[in-house]
Amino acid sequence: TVDNDLALKIYIKARATPKVVAAFAEKREFDKILIYSKQVGYTPDYLFLLQTILRTDPQGAVNFALMMSQMEGGCPIDYNTITDLFLQRNLIREATAFLLDVLKPNLPEHGFLQTKVLEINLVTFPNVADAILANGMFSHYDRPRIAQLCEKAGLYVRALQHYTELPDIKRVIVNTHAIEPQSLVEFFGTLSREWALECMKDLLLVNLRGNLQIIVQVAKEYCEQLGVDACIKIFEQFRSYEGLYFFLGSYLSSSEDPDIHFKYIEAAAKTGQIKEVERVTRESSFYDPEKTKNFLMEAKLPDARPLINVCDRFGFVPDLTHYLYTSNMLRYIEGYVQKVNPGNAPLVVGQLLDDECPEDFIKGLILSVRSLLPVEPLVAECEKRWNRLRLLSQFLEHLVSEGSQDVHVHNALGKIIIDSNNNPEHFLTTNPYYDSRVVGKYCEKRDPTLAVVAYRRGQCDDELINVTNKNSLFKLQARYVVERMDGDLWEKVLNPDNGYRRQLIDQVVSTALPESKSPEQVSASVKAFMTADLPHELIELLEKIVLQNSAFSGNFNLQNLLILTAIKADPSRVMDYVNRLDNFDGPAVGEMAVEAQLYEEAYAIFKKFNLNVQAVNVLLDNIHSIDRAVEFAFRVEEDAVWSQVAKAQLREGLVSDAIESFIRADDATQFLDVIHAAEDGNVYQDLVRYLLMVRQKTKEPKVDSELIYAYAKIDRLSDIEEFILMPNVANLQNVGDKLYDEELYEAAKIIYAFISNWAKLAVTLVKLKQFQSAVDAARKANSAKTWKEVCFACVDEEEFRLAQICGLNIIIQVDDLEEVSEYYQNRGCFNELISLMESGLGLERAHMGIFTELGVLYARYRPEKLMEHIKLFSTRLNIPKLIRACDEQQHWKELTYLYIQYDEFDNAATTIMNHSPEAWDHMQFKDVIAKVANVELYYKSVHFYLQEHPDLINDVLNVLALRVDHARVVDIMRKAGHLRLVKPYMVAVQSNNVSAVNEALNEIYVEEEDYDRLRESIDLHDNFDQIGLAQKVEKHELLEMRRVAAYIYKKAGRWKQSIALSKKDNLYKDAMETASQSGERELAEELLVYFIDQGKKECFASCLFVCYDLIRVDVALEHAWMHNMIDFAFPYLLQFIREYTGKVDELVKHKIESQNEVMAKEQEEKEVIAQQNMYAQLLPALPAPPMPGMGGGFAPPPMGGGLGMPPMPPFGMPMGSSY
């Protein structure tokens, strides 16, 4: 038996890698082949393996190929080669499966393989190719090539999707028999508008009937993109009304285009879809009715319902009727009138009459509708056509017999009765249903009296007036107007513009009103005359009614009206009417007479009706006779009358008489007016009498208050004292204030003392010059305002002791302090004010304002005490206020001190510098300037000290050293020409290495020829214009200065210039050191030649030593030999030989050590190789060389370890593998 698993294990232990691979392949464990090869570092012949697997297991070959495609370094075999292997054995499905898997990334470089997989399937399995294309997984294949293959394979939809040229698309698209309609419709959505329309035309051209449904579906789906008009044109181009019908049917509900609706109706009619035509004409509101009507009439459809719909909806009923009648479609006429729209029956009847239709048919048509028929338009239609109303007699009588109350029915019946003269008056007066206006209008030309009967019955005012005016029936008009009792009608007929007004008025006065027995009719007529402003006619009428013993002689309203009319129209008759008539409204008529300025008549009316108050008012207010009023008052002796007389006397300024009248009237109501008038007239004696009377009737504060005031005005002070002790309701405070305002101080003092108003009492006492008492009262009041008033009064009277007592109570209030101070100062009382403030310092409630104000006063009036005051009370001062005072009074020293105390160091420094004669102190200024915030003040202080205290400028600059810009300070001093003055300051700040400072100091050192300090400055501080300084001092007369120039050139790297300067001044050592430091061989050798040329043998020897590293040996020996200076070059030569031999010895030693290291490494490698070769006899023999075409065959197995496989275990031990 064959045990493959055991053989595999043996192969693995024996490292027979090709055998292991073959065994795995035989077991179809292809994944293990790849894993094993990777572990042992073996590269098998994948092509041979794949071919081997293909022979036995095609699906396994697919899996193996896919595994290879997923290897880390990429697939070892080209995908195209693998595909060809499958295709050589006709394994189409396997090749397809492999390619679909490896081509999933859809990379551009796989375009050839994508084309290949589609080609082989389109040729062999078109359904598979269709599925691949449906998935859309490829996008880089040859689309034209695939399009052609799809077309050959019958996949027309895919061909359409791939073709990009219109002729190709048009060629393929006509194969609709093999294309699913929905797919074709979707394809149209990918085309441009122009191409889609071209393809639609081709489809219809090839097979109109077969492709119509598809084209309709395309048009429906893409009508917005293609355009409805374009789609319609295509259907019309091929005269396909069926297509047009189906297309527009889906679009109709969303369109409001009249043309589209009409085309749909047209298409439906031409395709025999009569029901649809009927529906659209009935439901749509967007088609053109005129155009549609004409089309339907021309189409002559067997069913007239669509035409009926159009004509009924859009008002073409006469045209419809004419068409149906001439087409002998009477059945449709009856149907329309009876079922569709009976309301349009009058139009139908009118058109039938125009078409001379037999009356029997028309009567039958009318009777068939009966009550559904609108009578008014039917009558109008019959009237228009030579008055054919008699045609309707039977119809109207039927309606009346059925109980119809329709006004139009009775109107028509009335017209027929009037025309037939069949007792029309009876009909007009008894029939309650007809329209009077319509029937009356009908009667006007036939019988105007019948028209008046009809209009009277219906109260048709305008029509009746017109017909009576036109036919001169004024008696009938007057009776109607009087009976009507309508104000608007009266206004109309009595209008001045009415040319018939006079005739009407004559008939009213002579006939209508005398016949009337109705008070309402008389009243309405009189009112109408009043409204029409016809007073003379009205008076004539009323005199006839009222004064001629008619039934209305004692009528209250008519008597009123007669007098009132006379008042307005004829005032001369009024007095006669007043005397003759008794039953009228006296108060009202009297008021009207007053308004009409008939004052004597009004007085007579009021007197006749015992209206005494109104009568006296007329005498007073209108006739303006106070004497007659007083006489009338004495005659009637009524309090109300006396009261009116008193008021009039008060208005006329007769105050005493008025007061007497008020006392007679016992009237206390007008006490306010009496008080004002008495005060204006200064009649306080009479006022006292009046107020005493008033007090008996009322308890008013105003009365008692004014009584006290009146006592004061007549100087009855004892009465005041007696009165205020009695019970009263006077407002004593207001009275006292009023007395005070009018300077009645004695009376005011009594009041204020009684009510304990100490504040006002104190002020009053001041006015009375009783200052001590005023101070006592102010103390009781304890009010700041009172204290101020008393204090200011004392100051004005120079009572300074009392003023100070008051002032001490005022200045403790911060808000009042400044007012007191200004009051004293405005009156020049400076010393007294200062004394007051100094006294205030010791008060318990002394505040900052007192200390500050005293400081301000010292600044103004006693400057010698200012500084002491500031220093003593600096913490209790309002420093800003005192600063302003010192600034105004120009106390600069004190101002500076205040600025410092207030931490205003900028202002302090500015003040010191601006007013230095008084304010400057060096120590103080140093403290201040160090604390300022404005940087500009630093430099301003430099200018200040430079001008006024140059000897101390360095001291100030040392203080500002950390704050100022040193360059700017140097610039200031340079411009001022006093740079040396600040040399100590510059030396102190040179450590900051500022360019301006360095250059300034260097300049000073050059001027002072202090070369040591100059060299030190150059060494320590390099921030300056080195070349400029060097150029400045290189021509200096002092050697050391020129040496400094060479030194500067050397520091700046300008070796040639430095060496040239040194050579010029015979400073050979400096020149040699410069050449050595330059590191330039050319400079060193040039210097060496210079020494030879100058014959400086010692310098030659020194130069060789100093520039030892730069000068070449051959050059040195050449120059020494040529110029006989070998002896001087010998030290250099010895040194060079010693150094050279030392280097050679070091190199020889290093080489020997390197050779020893190489030999030791080679020996170690040999030992390792020998160790490896100990197991060579255990390995199998080498395999045969690979056959041609095998891609290199199997690689030889690696040696044990180090080449991708682990070292072999001892013989007989199992491998550490899971295989």
As a three-state string, the secondary structure of 1133-1189 is HHHHHHHHHHHHHHHHHHHHHHHHHHHHHHHHHHHHHHHHHCCHHHCCCCCCCCCCC
Instruction: Please report the pLDDT score of residue 1178 as a whole number.
Output: 34
Are the C-beta atoms of 420 and 445 separated by less than 8 Å? no
3-state DSSP of 462-521: HHHHHHHHHHCCHHHHHHHHHHHCCHHHHHHHCCCCCCCHHHHHHHHHHHHHHHCCCHHH
Of 75-84, 439-448, 504-513, 893-902, the least confident? 504-513
Lookup: tokens for 947: 């001008």
Instruction: Please report the pLDDT score of residue 306 as a whole number.
Output: 94
Instruction: Please report the pLDDT score of residue 1168 as a whole number.
Output: 67
Instruction: Please report the pLDDT score of residue 549 as a whole number.
Output: 54
Of 163-167, 400-404, 773-777, 853-857, the least confident? 773-777
* 248-294 pLDDT per residue, tens: 888 888 888 899 899 999 999 988 899 999 999 999 988 899 999 99
Of 289-303, 596-610, 1098-1112, the least confident? 596-610
The CA distance from 1094 to 1099, in Å, is: 10
DSSP 1204: S
The CA distance from 620 to 654, in Å, is: 14
Crossing angle of helices 905-914 and 922-929, in 10° steps, is: 140
The arithmetic mean of pLDDT across residues 1185-1192, rounded, is 38
DSSP 1082-1110: HHHHHHHHHHHHHT-HHHHHHHHHHTTTT
Nearest to 1056 by CA among 1081, 1028, 1078, 1085: 1078
DSSP 712-747: HHTT-HHHHHHHHHS-----HHHHHHHHHHTT-HHH
318 pLDDT tier (thresholds 50, 70, 90):
very high
Has residue 755 got a pLDDT over 80? no
Tokens 């700040």 belong to 989
Has residue 1081 got a pLDDT over 70? yes
> In this structure, which amino acid lies at residue 1042?
R
Of 143-152, 424-433, 822-831, 1085-1094, the least confident? 822-831
The CA distance from 763 to 789, in Å, is: 7
Are the C-beta atoms of 583 and 562 separated by less than 8 Å? no
The CA distance from 527 to 515, in Å, is: 18
Instruction: Please report the pLDDT score of residue 1204 as a whole number.
Output: 35
Q: For residue 1094, what are the CA distances in angstroms to 756, 1098, 1123?
A: 129, 11, 12
Crossing angle of helices 626-636 and 639-651, in 10° steps, is: 160
The secondary structure element, H or E, covering residue 401 is helix 393-401
With a CB cutoff of 8 Å and minimum separation 6, the contacts of 97 are: 62
Instruction: Please report the pLDDT score of residue 1217 as a whole number.
Output: 37
Are the C-beta atoms of 30 and 60 separated by less than 8 Å? yes
pTM flag (> 0.95) = no
Query: Three-class SS of residue 1218?
Result: coil
Lookup: tokens for 79: 């995908």
The CA distance from 380 to 290, in Å, is: 26
With a CB cutoff of 8 Å and minimum separation 6, the contacts of 873 are: 851, 855
DSSP 287: S
Nearest to 1035 by CA among 1013, 1064, 1059: 1064
Instruction: Please report the pLDDT score of residue 833 as a whole number.
Output: 73
3-state helix, strand, coil in the chain (%, to 5): 75, 0, 25
The arithmetic mean of pLDDT across residues 452-477, rounded, is 88
Lookup: tokens for 496: 């001045």
The CA distance from 804 to 794, in Å, is: 9
* 881-938 pLDDT per residue, tens: 888 888 888 888 888 888 888 888 899 899 889 888 888 888 988 898 888 988 898 8
Q: Give CA torsion, residues 811, 815, 816, 821, to 10 deg.
A: 80
DSSP 692-711: HHHHHH---HHHHHHHHHHH
Nearest to 320 by CA among 292, 345, 348: 348
DSSP 344-390: GHHHHHHHHHHTT--HHHHHHHHHHHGGGS-HHHHHHHHHHTT--GG
C-alpha neighbours within 13 Å on the C-beta side of residue 749? 17
Average pLDDT, the chain: 83
Has residue 939 got a pLDDT over 80? yes
Lookup: tokens for 868: 């002491």
Nearest to 680 by CA among 704, 654, 718, 701: 654
DSSP 609-665: TT-HHHHHHIIIIIS--HHHHHHHHHHH--HHHHHHHHHHHHHTT-HHHHHHHHHHH
Q: Give the rounded distance of the alpha carbon of 194 from its chain centre.
A: 47
1171 pLDDT tier (thresholds 50, 70, 90):
low
Of 115-129, 794-808, 852-866, 1056-1070, the least confident? 794-808
The secondary structure element, H or E, covering residue 82 is helix 79-88
1176 pLDDT tier (thresholds 50, 70, 90):
very low
1193 pLDDT tier (thresholds 50, 70, 90):
very low
With a CB cutoff of 8 Å and minimum separation 6, the contacts of 965 are: none
Has residue 1175 got a pLDDT over 60? no
Has residue 550 got a pLDDT over 70? no
Q: For residue 507, what are the CA distances in angstroms to 478, 481, 511?
A: 6, 11, 5
The arithmetic mean of pLDDT across residues 459-483, rounded, is 88
Lookup: tokens for 1183: 């395999």
* Residues in the chain, overall count: 1219
Q: Give the rounded distance of the alpha carbon of 407 from its chain centre.
A: 65
With a CB cutoff of 8 Å and minimum separation 6, the contacts of 869 are: 851, 854, 855, 858
Instruction: Please report the pLDDT score of residue 1209 as a whole number.
Output: 38
